[in-house]
Amino acid sequence: MRLSFSVCDDNKEHLEEIKNTINKLSDKHSVEVSLYAMAGELMDSLEKAKTCNEPLPNFVLIDIELLDTDGIELGKKIKELYPEICLVFVTSYIEYAVKGYEAKADRYLLKPIKLEDIESLVRDFLQEQNKIKRIIVKDKEQEHLIFIKDIMYISAEDKYTILYTENNRYFDYKSLKDYEELLIDYGFYRIHRKYLINMYHHKSLKKGFVTLSNDVVLPISRRKESKYRENLLKTLERDLL
C-alpha cells in the first residue's frame, strides 16, 4: 500500500526534519511526502485532489501553532470536509493535545518527531483499516448503516436504546450492555447506567457531568469518575506518542 503524507508547518527546518523522518519508512512502505508552509496551500491541494477525483493523502500533519491560521480550526475544517483523512497534530506542548480533541484529531505527535512515532502512526492506521467501520442499527421501519466514529453517545430507554450522532438519532432494540461490549475497543465508556459515550467526543468533565464536543451535557456516576479519567488519559496517551 502506498502511503501519502501532507505536512503543514511554517518552520521550513521542521518541515524538512519531518520529511526526512517519514522517508525512513521507505524500506518497508512506498511513501510520498508533500510539504506546505501555509494553510492555504494545503487546503488548495486537498480541494484540487477532491475536484479532480485524485487520491487524498492518507495522513495530514499540522503544526498547531501556525502563523497564518489557528491550527486547531484548520484541523476542524479538514475533518469536516475530508473525514477519511487521518489528521495528526504536531506540537511542542503536550497541553495542546487535550484542546485538539475538539478537532477530532486521530493522533498528536510531540516535536521532535521520531521514526518510532511515525511507525506507530502507520501501524495503527493500517490496523484501523481492518477494523469494523460501521454498524447496522435496526428499528421497526428500516436499517441504518452508521459510522462508529460518528456516534457521540448512546442512551438506554425503557425498551430500546438511542444512538446519537451530531445531526441524527437512531433507535435500536439492543441493550446498552450489548453496545458496551460491542464498542469496548473503539473508545466508548459507560459513564452512567443510562449512558455510553464515545471518549473521542469528550470536551470536559466537571462536577459530576461530562460535556461532549457538541456541548451535550450528560451525568456521570460519582463512582465512575476516577475510572473515566483514567480511561480518558489512556486514550490520550495512546494517541500522543
Predicted pLDDT of residue 241: 44
Q: Give the mean pLDDT of 82-93.
A: 88
Predicted pLDDT of residue 2: 85
Please tell me the number of Cα atoms within 13 Å of 115 on its side-chain side.
Answer: 8
Q: Give the mean pLDDT of 173-193.
A: 91
Name the residue among 237, 227, 162 with its Cα closest to residue 191.
227
For the chain, what is the mean pLDDT?
88
Where are the strands (E) in 40-84, listed by range? 59-63
Q: Give the mean pLDDT of 178-193.
A: 91
Bridge-based pairing state of the strands 161-164 and 153-156: antiparallel
Q: At what angle do helices 39-51 and 71-81 cross, to 10 degrees?
A: 0
Distance, first Cα to last Cα, the chain: 23
Q: What is the pLDDT of residues 203-236, one digit of tens each?
A: 899 889 999 989 999 999 988 898 998 888 777 6
Is pLDDT of 120 > 70?
yes
| Overall fold of domain 2-129 | Rossmann fold (3.40.50)
C-alpha span between 43 and 71 (Å, rounded): 12
Domain residue limits, the chain:
2-129, 134-239
Strand, coil or helix: what is 62?
Answer: strand
User: Superfamily assignment of 134-239 in CATH?
Assistant: LytTr DNA-binding domain (2.40.50.1020)
Share above pLDDT 90 across residues of the chain, in percent, rounded to a whole number: 54
Lowest mean pLDDT among 39-43, 55-59, 81-85: 81-85
C-alpha span between 15 and 20 (Å, rounded): 9
